Amino acid sequence: MSGCEARDAKKLVRSPSGLRMVPEHRSARSPFGLDEPPWVPDKECPRCMQCDTKFDFITRKHHCRRCGKCFCDKCCSKKVPLPRMCFVDPVRQCAECALISQKEMEFYDKQLKVLMNGATFFVTLGTSDKSELMVCRLSNNQRYLVLDGDSHYEIEIIQISTVQILTEGFTPGGGNTRAIGMILQYKVPGSEELMQMKFTASEDFSCNKKLSVSWLAAMHKATKLLYESRDQ
């Protein structure tokens, strides 16, 4: 097993919430992941935290695996996949959390694959007036943005400070817009200085501009998940 494979190795663990397939090393976890929440202690929730039904021998309490709050079966009946917490099987969630998790599944089912497949951009480093045509993709372990052209860059996702999606077509009346590029600010490990890269979708049809626009839309969603993971 190589060093990279060893760092990316996973193990099956059982928690009160269910079976999870997690990285053996915390440093190898996905930057989009969420930690399991602490459960509200049983003694602190005599009633459902949604409908206020009193718990008794017949009305059992259940904990939402995403928020950790107590609910009755009616308010916490859905079992939904929760890849951000590495659950192997769909897990019980309250209605509000289930809705969020179901929306996130589109990212894991579609947009994450778009990011990993990559797209072509003109990339400008810092304040340079020169750009380089590069293929940009998310690494399979989700931890790096990999850029390949005449040059090669690997940007650690957790080092990204801001992502600004550039659009065109906006009108004061709220007209349609489309993504045409992005500006990325990130830190180089060991330095507090912010580096900047600008990505511009190519006008050349052979570079498949439609794919680049889809990649930018997926990156916009990924950025939202990244910020949520940091704020938890």
Task: Dump pLDDT digits (tens) for 25-50.
Answer: 877 788 998 999 999 999 999 999 99
Higher pLDDT, 63 or 201: 63
Report the CATH superfamily, name and number, of domain 10-113: Zinc/RING finger domain, C3HC4 (zinc finger) (3.30.40.10)
Q: Which long-range contacts (CB under 8 A, 24 or more apart) does 112-115 make?
A: 112/138, 112/142, 112/218, 112/222, 114/214, 114/215, 114/218, 115/215, 115/218, 115/219, 115/222
Structural domain spans, the chain: 10-113, 118-170+177-231
SS in 3 state form for 49-109? CCCCCECCCCCCEEECCCCCCEEECCCCCEEECCHHHCECCCEEECHHHHHHHHHHHHHHH
Q: How far, in Å, CA of 22 to CA of 222, rounded?
A: 20
Q: Confidence band (pLDDT; 50, 70, 90) for 232?
A: low
Kindly report the backbone phi and psi dihedral angles of residue 110, in degrees, each rounded to the nearest multiple of 5, phi listed first: -125, -60
Q: How far, in Å, CA of 56 to CA of 128, rounded?
A: 68
| Among 161, 154, 148, CA closest to 195 | 161
| Among 65, 62, 61, CA closest to 18 | 65
SS in 3 state form for 185-222? EEECCCCCCEEEEEEEECCCHHHCHHHHHHHHHHHHHH
Summarize the confidence of residues 160-172 as an average pLDDT: 81
Burial tier of 120 (Cβ tally within 10 Å: 0-12, 13-18, 19+) = buried
| pLDDT value of position 63 | 96
Q: Out of 10-24, 48-62, 70-84, 143-157, pick the least confident.
A: 10-24
Fold of 118-170+177-231: PH-domain like (2.30.29)
**Do you know the residue count of the chain?**
232
Task: Dump pLDDT digits (tens) for 187-219.
Answer: 988 888 899 999 998 776 555 778 898 999 999
